[in-house]
Structure 1
Amino acid sequence: MTKHHHRFDLESANGRAGSLYPDMIESPQLRWAFIRKVYCIVSLQILITAGVSAAVNFVPPIRQFFHSNTPGSLAVFILLIILPLLVMIPMIYFQESHPINLLLLGLFTVCISFAIGLACISTSGKVILEAAVLTFAVVVGLTLYTFWAAKRGHDFNFLGPFLFASLLVLVMFCILQIFIPMGKITKTIYGCLAAIVFSGYIIYDTDNLIKRHTYDQYVAAAISLYLDIVNLFMALLTAFSASDS
């Protein structure tokens, strides 16, 4: 009886049973429902990305069109790079307006998927598979770790400024690379560093998903995690393709 009573007191001290982190005030059931909704959206985004990328690489007419280097293919290529940025502006504005937010999210996902497909078009299947498998393993591992750490009272909100600063450095490096192309070793180092940064973002955004996003911010939460996963994949692809060539 004493042990049972002591266990009950511990649960009461840590908040209600089933809470995701200590001193959780909101309903765990509502938060879990929100988390499931976000992961369903992200899973659908990943499936769309895999399907569109596969079509770009394996459907002969599409592959030949982008390999043709005609003015038309170049114009479409530039449009696919610019379009996600153009779609993101209204998507952020309408992120809590259903169903416009989901329509814009779908369009954004398709645009990003084409960009990833084009990035993979000149990469060997072995490298793509390696990057995809490692991305899956890292995402699952870091997600489980973040939920475990949150349950034990760890908070990762402090990572925000450091990750943002690291992202700025990566962007400046990319811009520099355009004007001053660097060798394979530099690309491999860049890919590895970018993978570390976006791994940190997965932990940071998962922590936000558990604790800070409101229930209406499912699109914002899905975009954050989707971009983290996509960028991690592209970073690993860069590292592997540079070392493989």
Structure 2
Amino acid sequence: MSSKTDSPPSYEDALQHPKTVNYPFQTQHGTPLTPPPSYSPSPSACLGPPSYCSQGGVYPQAGMCPGPGFSQPIVPIPTLSAGLPASSPGEMDDFISNQWETTSIRHAFIRKVYLILTMQLAVTFAVVAVFTFVDPVKEFVIKFPALYWASFVVFFLVYCILICCKEPRRHFPLNLVLLGIFTIALSLMAGSVSSFYETKAVIIAMGITAIVCIAVTVFCFQTKVDFTSCSGFLCIASVLLMIIGIVTAIVLSFQYVPWLHMLYAAIGAVVYTLFLVYNTQLLIGNRELAISPEEYIYGALSLYVDIVHIFLFILQISGAATE
């Protein structure tokens, strides 16, 4: 039991003598502490889920609502330019000018390559026309096939030299002379092969080759398909073409099989058409791989070899069809 002195004072006594009463929010010796304000959750002050803010009397989870006397936390919103320096108008102008300069250099490179290629094709088809329409020359080549083999040796040697040369500016006069010798050698080869076929077959092959080259060029400049990433496939196709050619040569040496020869010619025309697409996209330069603007000799050389081989394979098909 508690004594009378231990009983709590009445309400009037507590108001008259507040220092004698020890409450939880008051000190025994000192000034009274102000009790904390009552908490009344409001939807506008709560940052948590609606289920916590809508329940009156239920204190939300820690971190959801700011306490009394504290401002709402400001959460930074990340942007796309976070961590990146702002580009000034001068930097943007430099970027655009560099892009324009690169594009102009590439266009000048393409024009230079096609100019060289046009001259090469003009020489080649002129030689083919002489070997086809001039009967004495045609008979001489048929009687002396050594011209073809001599041209082939020169073609192979000069081709290896041009492929191995990687500094066109330093060796420009030499490369130009070698390119002329290469063009004459391959033209003599094409003319020697054309002399064994009828004039009608040669004209048909020339027309089909021109159509194929124009179609491939337009296709490469318009399409978004990247053929420069298919170098492995083209390597396999070239190996397959070589194997079929060896088998065809062995079979034809024992017994003539017309359909096998035409099959080999058709596969060769398709493979070199794909090579023409590949080399044209290397020339354009907006794909995964591209030719350097300084290697215009190599660019013209690759396109020229592809076009002449397409002509020779189509000539075999048209010659077999006319016979």
Task: Give the match for residue 48 of structure 1.
Answer: 123
Quick check: 176-185 or 79-88, which moved more? 176-185
Deviation by residue 1:140-195 (Cα, 9 ceiling, x = unmatched):
1111111111xxx4321122111121111112222222222151111222222222
Deviation by residue 1:21-73 (Cα, 9 ceiling, x = unmatched):
xxx786211101000000011111100001112222333443232232xxxx3
Task: Give the match for residue 310 of structure 2.
Answer: 232
Separation of aligned partners in 2, 1:185 and 1:178:
13
Cα distance 1:169–1:52, how it changes in 2: closer, same or farther (>3 A)? same
| SS of the residue 1:180 aligns to | helix
Cα distance 1:32–1:172, how it changes in 2: closer, same or farther (>3 A)? same
Task: Give the match for residue 30 of structure 1.
Answer: 105
Contact 2:142 2:196 in 1 (8 A): no
CA RMSD of aligned residues (A): 2.3
Q: Which has the higher contact order (CA 8 A, sep 6+)?
A: 1
Task: Give the match for residue 270 of structure 2.
Answer: 196
In the alignment, which of 193, 216, 234 is matched to residue 163 of structure 1?
234
* Count of paired positions: 220
| SS of the residue 2:319 aligns to | helix
Cα distance 1:74–1:67, how it changes in 2: closer, same or farther (>3 A)? closer
Task: Give the match for residue 21 of structure 1.
Answer: none
| SS of the residue 2:212 aligns to | helix
Task: Give the match for residue 63 of structure 1.
Answer: 138
Separation of aligned partners in 2, 1:26 and 1:183:
56
Task: Give the match for residue 145 of structure 1.
Answer: 219
Please show how residues 1-245 of structure 1 align to structure 2 within 5 Å. 27-68=102-143, 73-94=144-165, 96=168, 97-149=171-223, 153-181=224-252, 182-211=256-285, 212-245=290-323
Deviation by residue 1:81-136 (Cα, 9 ceiling, x = unmatched):
22100111222233512011111011001101111111111211111111111111
> TM-score of the superposition, structure 2-length normalised?
0.63
> TM-score of the superposition, structure 1-length normalised?
0.82
Separation of aligned partners in 1, 2:317 and 2:101:
42
Larger Rg: 2
Letter in 1 for 2:291: H
Separation of aligned partners in 1, 2:245 and 2:124:
23
Separation of aligned partners in 2, 1:99 and 1:204:
28
Deviation by residue 1:180-219 (Cα, 9 ceiling, x = unmatched):
2151111222222222111111111111001111111101
Separation of aligned partners in 1, 2:133 and 2:202:
13
State percent identity of aligned pairs. Answer: 28
Contact 1:94 1:100 in 2 (8 A): no
Cα distance 1:16–1:119, how it changes in 2: closer, same or farther (>3 A)? farther
Contact 1:199 1:232 in 2 (8 A): yes
* Unmatched runs of 5 consecutive residues or more in structure 1: 1-11, 18-23
Contact 2:159 2:182 in 1 (8 A): yes
Which structure features the higher share of helix residues? 1
Separation of aligned partners in 2, 1:198 and 1:92:
18
Letter in 1 for 2:258: K
Separation of aligned partners in 1, 2:245 and 2:101:
42
